[in-house]
Amino acid sequence: MSLEFVDPDNYESQLDAKKEQFTQLFSTFELPELDCFASEKQHYRMRSQFRVWHEDEDLYFYMTDQETRQRIRVEQFLPASTLINKLMPMLVEELKISPILRFKLFQANFLSSLSGEIMVSLLYHKVLDDEWLTAIKALKERLSEHFTINIIGRARRQKFIVDNDFVIEKLEVDGQQLIYQQVENSFTQPNAKVSVDMLEWAIDCTRDSEGDLLELYCGNGNFSLALAKNFNRVLATEVSTPSVNSAQFNIAANNIDNVTIVRMSAEEFTQAINGVREFNRLKEKNVELSSYQCNTIFVDPPRAGLDDDTVKMVQQYENIMYISCNPETLKDNLEVFTQTHDIKKFSLFDQFPYTHHTEAGVFLVRK
């Protein structure tokens, strides 16, 4: 992000430019009217990270401007949540006066929630000892007068947690409250309010669905939990163990009984569903793939998109719902999908204002 472009007064014009570029990229397809979900103009990011600069007695957060490569002192950060901006100056002042906590500190990562919880991870180029731990616990106690806060200390092969390594997010989605555990260093949607838009979009796409849902790349169950009410059962896969553990926590926290999460990659599941390999992980979960009546598949892949075998597998389903963080790989996958499916919904989610990044949502139905 080039900091000079973070200008709320020009938000609409930069969004219009994104919509135009987005529409041009997909102009070769037969598309419905583009739905665009705008972001808040400021304080929209639930997580941010800053490097730490030491200069004599001074200490401050900084970012490197991607355009100029200059170091920019950051005392407040407009894209970050109000909670992060409130904590930043208080934390800096505490660190300045503590030789133990400031020594060899090189980075601070923040994760906040709309529900009022915040976590900060402090990263060091030194060994963290009992003296540091005593000092950080005292700092947490002082900050707890103002915040619901957890603190993590990280150094080479060390991780100290005071008291949890997660925040609990509570989102109002389509008339119901959903609870999510969001763990440090695990993927979560950075723009919480646009994430709600995405969840409600997915619910609307599948509101009158029949049968079961198959979901690949489910993360911490972000979409799985929201979509559970539209299907008899949801079978979801995720390769990251911390994300799977959070998903299981979230299923229990929301009292949802029709979602099953299996730790598998999309490629592994494709092998399983095609009978190429058997997986004990499915047997351990008592998952009999033939018992599922999945008419709808939902995929939210990484920037690389879907591999060729998974594309062919996805193409077998009546309804395809696709969330993409990379329009280029989405376009490649749609070249195949539109041979057999029509695009019914086509949406842009502005997760990352003032950058070139766009998040897309596509819903396709078999011709």
Q: List residues with catalytic annotation.
A: 325, 359
Q: What is the DSSP letter of 47?
A: E
Residue type, 281: R
10 vs 190: CA distance, rounded Å: 21
Q: What angle do CA 261, 266, 271 make, to 5 degrees?
A: 105
190 vs 219: CA distance, rounded Å: 13
- Cis bond before residue 163 (omega within 30° of 0): yes
In the chain, where does DSSP find H-type helix?
Answer: 11-25, 82-96, 99-102, 130-143, 192-205, 222-227, 241-253, 266-273, 280-284, 308-314, 327-337
Residue type, 350: D
263 vs 247: CA distance, rounded Å: 11
Q: What is the dihedral of CA 147, 249, 37, 233, to 10 degrees?
A: -160
Residue type, 236: A
8 A C-beta contact, residue 195 and residue 172: no
265 vs 225: CA distance, rounded Å: 19
8 A C-beta contact, residue 215 and residue 224: yes
Closest CA to 256 of 286, 227, 293: 227
